[in-house]
């Protein structure tokens, strides 16, 4: 079992049991001692099902459990665009690529078929909690919420509010936007809860971005948000320089003498910047915006794949972490060209390295995250507990701890052929060297400096650490054998589809 503790630490339990009860919550995690033999060579997942029977899953060497990955920002109706229109910057890309595709989701039949496939795809990428933007359409977005619920994925689902600077074929009337949003929220809140009474799917207010909403609509959204402080909010912020310039121009009337309005200031003016707000991108924030975001306790969705792909820039994640701002990861499909948080981890690492390489000033504080590569533990944390904080669900998800929900992935990095009871499954990922086969080498790279052998327990821990690193940097869907949300097996390479 590998599970994050904080931004700098995670725990690796080589020989352990997880007990998951019928309500999907983790009842116990036991680290076995050597005297518990003969079980010491394996980790166990043990699930007590509704008949009180034990369903047991043994994990062999090369397999391990991690908490489910959390995608704090993606656009469900942009999945058909994956890999298309990749040479644009943001504003031209929206006009030429995004809006024409999203407009298709007016057709509820098409949307339903597409969302079934899309949600399955996201689950199989290991995302157990996903913050989805829908299109602007109420009815299609209802289907998205119902489909996530049907598959048992934990999700936030919102329809875009957009009543200006959008093409005539893809824009809503101001007076429809909030009423349609309210209908969607009502529908989502009526979906049945999970076995511990908590929802799987949460509604989320989704003003597309400051440019696409009129003042009148922003005022209505402000009043509505004020009336429901528990309602989460997601939007985009400071992704691209041309976008930032346009926001400042549109909202210049909010500037005060000597104090020009900022992008974050616009959202704050309309009461949309609060502890349950998720801000995607945050690439070009100014000092006073960072301070304001910290003060309001809003969270950031770091979307490095998209930020590179649309030539938006690199968010200064290390600096945000130093300031104590909440940060998680987002795939931002279709700005990002991969629906996988594993891929996002890899790009978050590269982004931090490029920031470090190009930043002339390094903090003298050795504990600072700014202008340095992100550590393995920090990247793992961003993809799990960091995302949970951004979603304000840290009490429930993000790590494998007693009392939390069993949202988890059975990872398999063995590079060997194997069989399940039903079918041959060969998720062979040739980029990961043959763990568990006769060419097994390389997992003991962290020998002690003094050359002395470490004890067996320590050796197993080091092997697990090495496996996590392999997964994070070379892993993909092929390595995700089973995906669980609240104790329910919902996806992964070994899952047999439900039709």
- CB nearer to Fe ion: pick between 121 and 481: 121
Burial grade of 436 (CB within 10 A; 0-12, 13-18, 19 or more): middle
304 binds ligand GUN (CB under 6 A): no
HEC profile of 189-249: HCCCCCCCCCCCEEEEEEECCHHHCCHHHHHHHHHHHHHCCCCEEEEEECCCHHHHHHHHH
Binding site partner of 208, from ligand GUN, Fe ion, none, Cβ cut-off 5-8 A by kind: ligand GUN
Both tokens assigned to 490 = 């919902």
Q: Give dist(CA 69, CA 71) in Å, integer.
A: 7
* Residue that the structure tokens 């590179």 belong to: 308
Residue 281: closest CA among 223, 224, 353, 210: 210
Binder among 19, 79, 151, 209 for ligand GUN (CB under 6 A): 209
Contact between 284 and ligand GUN per CB under 6 A:
no
Nearer to ligand GUN, 94 or 233 (CB): 94
321 interface partner picked from ligand GUN, Fe ion, none, CB below 5 to 8 A per type: none
The count of chain residues that interact with ligand GUN, using the rule CB under 6 A, is 11
Q: Which residue is nearest to Fe ion (CB)?
A: 332
Computed over its alpha carbons, how large is the radius of gyration of the chain? 23
Q: Which does 239 bind (CB under 5 to 8 A by kind): Fe ion, ligand GUN, none?
A: ligand GUN
Check residue 208 for interaction with ligand GUN (CB under 6 A): yes
335 belongs to the binding site for ligand GUN (CB under 6 A): yes
* Closer by beta carbon to ligand GUN, 239 or else 476: 239
**By C-beta, is 239 or 407 nearer to ligand GUN?**
239
Applying CB under 6 A, the span of 90-98, 111-119, 246-254, 362-370 interacting with ligand GUN comes to 90-98
Per-residue burial over 69-94, b = 16 or more CB atoms within 10 Å of its CB, e = otherwise: bbbbbbbbbbbebeeebeebebbebb
∠ CA(349), CA(351), CA(356), 5° rounding? Answer: 95
172 binding ligand GUN? (CB under 6 A): no
221 binds, among ligand GUN, Fe ion, none (CB under 5 to 8 A by kind): none
Considering beta carbons, is residue 120 or 332 the nearer one to Fe ion? 332
8-state DSSP, 457: H
Smallest separation (angstroms) from ligand GUN to the CB of 128: 23
User: What residue ranges bind ligand GUN (CB under 6 A)?
Assistant: 75, 90, 94, 98, 208-209, 236, 239, 306, 332, 335
């Amino acid at each position: 079992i590998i599970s994050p503790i904080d931004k700098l630490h995670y725990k690796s339990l080589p020989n352990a049991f997880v007990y998951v009860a019928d309500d999907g919550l983790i009842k116990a995690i036991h680290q076995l001692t050597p005297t518990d033999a003969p079980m010491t060579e394996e980790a166990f997942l043990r699930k007590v099902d509704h008949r009180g029977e034990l369903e047991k899953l043994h994990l062999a060497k090369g397999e391990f459990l991690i908490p489910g990955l959390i995608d704090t920002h993606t656009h469900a109706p942009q999945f058909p665009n994956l890999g298309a229109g990749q040479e644009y910057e943001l504003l031209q890309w929206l006009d030429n690529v995004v809006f024409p595709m999203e407009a298709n989701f007016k057709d509820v039949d098409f949307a339903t078929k597409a969302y079934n496939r899309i949600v399955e795809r996201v689950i199989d990428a290991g995302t157990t909690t996903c913050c989805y933007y829908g299109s602007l359409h109420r009815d299609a977005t209802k289907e998205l919420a119902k489909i996530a619920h049907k598959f048992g994925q934990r999700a936030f689902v919102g329809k875009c509010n957009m009543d200006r600077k959008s093409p005539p074929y893809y824009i809503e009337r101001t007076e429809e936007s909030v009423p349609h949003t309210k209908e969607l929220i009502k529908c989502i809140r009526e979906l049945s809860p999970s076995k511990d009474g908590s929802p799987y799917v949460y509604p989320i207010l989704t003003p597309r971005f400051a440019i696409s909403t009129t003042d009148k609509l922003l005022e209505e959204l402000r009043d509505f948000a004020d009336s429901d402080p528990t309602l989460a909010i997601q939007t985009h912020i400071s992704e691209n320089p041309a976008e930032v310039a346009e926001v400042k121009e549109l909202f210049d009337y909010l500037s005060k003498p000597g104090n020009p309005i900022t992008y974050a200031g616009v959202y704050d003016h309309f009461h949309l910047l609060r502890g349950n707000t998720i801000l995607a991108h945050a690439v070009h924030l100014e000092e006073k915006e960072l301070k304001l975001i910290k003060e309001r306790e809003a969270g950031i969705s770091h979307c490095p794949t998209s930020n590179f792909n649309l030539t938006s820039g690199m968010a200064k994640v290390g600096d945000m972490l130093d300031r104590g701002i909440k940060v998680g990861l987002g795939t931002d499909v279709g700005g990002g060209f991969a629906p996988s948080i594993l891929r996002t981890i890899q790009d978050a690492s590269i982004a931090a390295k490029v920031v470090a390489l190009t930043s002339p000033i390094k903090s003298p504080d050795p504990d600072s995250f700014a202008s340095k590569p992100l550590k393995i533990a920090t990247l793992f944390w961003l993809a799990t507990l960091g995302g949970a904080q951004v979603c304000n669900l840290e009490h429930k998800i993000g790590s494998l701890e007693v009392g939390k929900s069993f949202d988890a992935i059975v990872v398999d990095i063995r590079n060997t052929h194997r069989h399940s009871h039903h079918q041959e499954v060969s998720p062979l990922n040739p980029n990961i060297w043959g763990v568990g086969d006769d060419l097994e080498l390389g997992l003991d790279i962290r020998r002690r400096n003094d050359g002395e052998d470490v004890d067996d327990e320590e050796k197993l821990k080091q092997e697990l650490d090495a496996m996590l690193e392999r997964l994070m940097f070379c892993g993909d869907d092929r390595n995700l054998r089973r995906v669980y949300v609240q104790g329910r097996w919902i996806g992964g390479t070994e899952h047999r589809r439900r039709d």
